[in-house]
Amino acid sequence: MADRKRPHSREKFVTNDSKGVHRRGEGLGTGPVGSTGGGKGSSGGGMSRAAKVGGGLSIPAIIIAVVFFFLSGGSTGTLNDLSGTQTQGETDLTSVPSTAKLNTNVAQGSREKYTAVSGDGQDVVTIMVYMCGTDLESKSGMATNDIKEMAAATISDKVNLLIYTGGCKQWKNSSISSTANQIYKVENGGLKCLVKDDGAKSMVAPDTLSAYIKWCAKEYPANRYDLILWDHGGGSVSGFGYDEKNAKAGSMNLSGINKALSDGGVKFDFVGFDACLMATAETALMLDKYSDYLIASEETEPGIGWYYTNWLTKLSKNTSMPTLEIGKNIIDDFTSACASVVRGQKTTLSLIDLAEFSHTIPDKLSAFSTDISSTLKEEKGYKTVADARYQTREFAQSSQIDQVDLVDLAGKLGSEEGQVLSDALSEAVKYNRTSSNMTNANGVSIYFPFKRTSYVDKAADAYEDIGMDASYADCIKAFAGQQASGQTSTPASGQGGMSSEDIEAVFNLLLGGLNLSPRDLPAGALDPADLVWSVEDADGASGGEILYLPEDAWEQVQDIELNMFYDDGDGYINLGLDNVFEFDEYGQLLAGSDRTWIAINGQPVAYYHLDTTEDGDAYTITGRVPAFLNGERVNLLLVFDSETPQGYIAGAIYDYKEDGIETVAKSMTELEVGDTLEFLCDHYTYDGAYEDSYYLGDPMKVTDQMVISNVDVGDGAVKILYKLTDIYNQSYWTQALTR
């Protein structure tokens, strides 16, 4: 076949234990469970512990015992009502080997660090935890669990561990108020309340954060200050935080964080984000005026978040510990805990030297940006950049936040400017660890539009607010403009679902309509009129249906997904989008014909492909299955990788429906043996109108042997179509076939 890189197809494992496709009960009124959504709503939240279930493998037996001693009486609160939550014991974190190396070098010319360490264990450290509990706590007790980890540490009298609480409708303990913001000090294994009522201030308001910083510095002066921001995260464009009690306030963007830290008036040893997606170049450049180091994640954080007990104990033993070592301990504990408890969940955490970053990166980023802008002016320049962008490691893909690893992007473009930038970034990131399925995640990301170009102007405004060089904003504006010029209709829906435009296009084809060719197709673009099936191969022999496209058209294709609709006699059940497909020896697409669909323990489920990542022969494919878990609306996260191609259930992610929330929640809740799963599907009338969403199949109890396979869907007729997505993020659909 032609020498071109093809999208990666999931391997099918067919079994003969099908329970068949069938709806159950009355309509649920959930709205379409197969539709796509952006931001925090689609990524969801979750509880703080998750166990791997599925793929015929048992749940790991993780037995963790930690004894907590809590003060009683006086102003010290109790956390004894949370005995159901767990924390990792110290020995559990040492079993995961690391190949990461701590870089202690500093580029010549970098500014002096703000924090001067006295040495000999004489330093006093004030750690300010800004804990906006939000729905992570009210749904799942995630904040309480992390507080228990803090309380389990042995804290010396030279470490002031302070926690500002708020932003949550219902705390899962008897100590912390759900009506007023408060300040606590962790000491002697418990919480001492320092400020009982600080009002119900919005925790995404910069003034709330700056007031807390000022209070801590005044009441607990130290020569080392650290700040940890705990909540949802949205990265370059959306910034930090979601206050459940002040939902309309949105998030604290980088400009807001900049104002809060400026008004706070404190220089920090490190600023850490126990939140998703904040390890960005934009965050690092903004923070340089206030902190020596940034500790943050490129990817969405697993629900367990940072593990606090060990690194706090180690710091208390030596308050003169170098910041690089503190950061390494935080990262090692976090990634090791995630590897032990939430297998399959993508995990990243990095430590960035802000003094070096601000010195070495801006001019190189500017040169890189200018080079991209120049490339875009060349013939086929857009394709060069789009291909590099598509192949670059992307984070929170289903959320459409468009953040990619900057080192990987610079390398994929292959320019001299890119290589220079990549080298400098690798030096500024002093320590970086990831889960095994997070290849090409090098510690710092950046916003680069592709799925949601409507954010471009918002990003450019943010860059101006934080004083970032205009060349990068010019670069992404030029790229987004060319992408828009190559789109002939509505852009492709976000990964992990189908937009209303997708459904309209599909039913036009199901009802016998045609793919009509739009005007002004760009050179080499797919022509919808070509998406017809032939029953002859390239040699003229008859056989199954084959889709022929010119080679220059195939070069535009970046994703292929199979869509199946099941006719249940009253309309169509949408079974979702799966990245399963096959090419013939000539490189042309073959239509599937075996009438099988993905199932869990023999029950066909609605499955929606989220993303595929590849690194040589290694790959990871993730997808979601809409369901109820013990009565709570979730998406099961299914993972298929080169080590476990048959797949497994990595956990469940709560489904969020709040409007206007653009930050992303820590993800994954635990599946436990005995839990009840009820799968969901969307049902459409024969003329394409969404009727309602229903239970799909019968309730299922979680066991320690949850098997994922493909099974025959049953007696009803099925319609299949393939969705092709091109370099302009434009979606196309093939003719519908009946099976």
Tens of pLDDT, residues 58-92: 222 222 222 222 333 333 445 544 333 334 444 34
Q: What percent of the chain has pLDDT over 70?
A: 84
Half-sphere exposure of 440 (CA within 13 A, CB side): 22
Backbone angles phi, psi at 318, to 5 degrees: -145, 90
Scanning the structure block, which residue is given the tokens 């990243």? 348
Residues 41-50 have a mean pLDDT of 28
Taking all residues of the chain, what is their mean pLDDT, rounded to a whole number? 85
Identify residue 147 by its one-letter amino acid code. I
Q: How far apart are CA 146 and CA 133, in angstroms?
A: 11
pLDDT classification of 106: cutoffs 50, 70, 90:
very high
How far is CA 210 from each of CA 125, 392, 437, 687, rounded to the nearest angstrom?
A: 19, 37, 38, 56
CB atoms near residue 29 (< 10 Å): 7
More confident residue, 451 or 367: 367
Q: Is 141 exposed, middle or buried (0-12, 13-18, 19+ CB in 10 A)?
A: buried
Query: Token pair of 63, please?
Result: 């037995």
Q: How far apart are CA 648 and CA 708, in angstroms?
A: 7
Among the listed ranges 93-107, 282-296, 303-317, 691-705, which one has the minimum average pLDDT value? 93-107
Residues 684-697 have a mean pLDDT of 95
Q: How far apart are CA 124 and CA 145, in angstroms?
A: 26
Backbone angles phi, psi at 238, to 5 degrees: -90, -25
Query: Token pair of 579, please?
Result: 């990245």
Dump strand ranges (E) for 48-115.
76-77
Residue 525 has pLDDT above 90, yes or no: no
Give 495-562 as a 3 state SS string: CCCCCHHHHHHHHHHHCCCCCCCCCCCCCCCCCHHHCCEEEECCCCCEEEEEECCCHHHHCCEEEEEE
Query: Token pair of 142, please?
Result: 């995630």
> With b meaning 16 or more CB within 10 Å and e meaning fewer, what string describes 413-445?
bebebbebbbebbebbbbbbbbbebbbbbbbbb
**Residue 661, pLDDT score:** 57
Query: Token pair of 656, please?
Result: 């969020």
**Residue 289, pLDDT score:** 97
pLDDT in tens, 1-32: 445 567 789 999 999 999 999 999 999 999 99
Residue 519 has pLDDT above 80, yes or no: no
What is the pTM for the complete model shown?
Answer: 0.80
| H/E segment holding residue 563 | strand 557-567
Query: Token pair of 411, please?
Result: 């390398």
**Residue 643, pLDDT score:** 86
Q: How far apart are CA 242 and CA 223, in angstroms?
A: 31
**Residue 56, pLDDT score:** 32
Report CA 541 to chain centroid distance, whole Å. Answer: 46
Residue-wise DSSP of 398-429: GGT--EEEHHHHHHHHT-HHHHHHHHHHHHHE
Q: Which residues are CB-neighbours of 120 under 8 A, at least 6 positions away?
A: 320
Q: Is 575 exposed, middle or buried (0-12, 13-18, 19+ CB in 10 A)?
A: buried
**Residue 390, pLDDT score:** 83
pLDDT in tens, 203-219: 999 999 999 999 999 99
Scanning the structure block, which residue is given the tokens 């010549």? 108
Dump strand ranges (E) for 167-315.
182-187, 190-195, 224-230, 233-234, 239-240, 268-274, 291-296
pLDDT in tens, 234-269: 999 999 999 999 988 999 999 999 999 999 999 999
Q: How far apart are CA 127 and CA 222, in angstroms?
A: 10
**Residue 383, pLDDT score:** 87
Q: Is 308 exposed, middle or buried (0-12, 13-18, 19+ CB in 10 A)?
A: buried
**Residue 485, pLDDT score:** 74
Collapsing DSSP to helix, strand or coil, 437 comes out as coil
